Amino acid sequence: MSCGLGVGQMVPDFKLETFEPSKGDFGEISLETLKANKKWTILFFYPADFTFV
């Protein structure tokens, strides 16, 4: 799925399941929460990063 966003464009809100190793527990984070807490967010994508070559 490609949403056709470019550098500097606004990203739609999303939620991700996370794992916090220091707590040993799963949680959830969303872009909305990061924005509300004034956190910087960098999104990157490597399409072939985990392929077997």
Predicted confidence (pLDDT) per residue in 7-49, tens digit: 888 888 999 898 988 889 999 999 999 999 998 888 776 666 6
pTM, rounded to two decimals: 0.56
CA atoms of 14 and 17, how far apart (whole Å): 10
Beta strand 25-30 with 15-20 is antiparallel
Which residue type, as a one-letter code, is found at position 15?
Answer: K
Q: What pLDDT does 10 receive?
A: 84
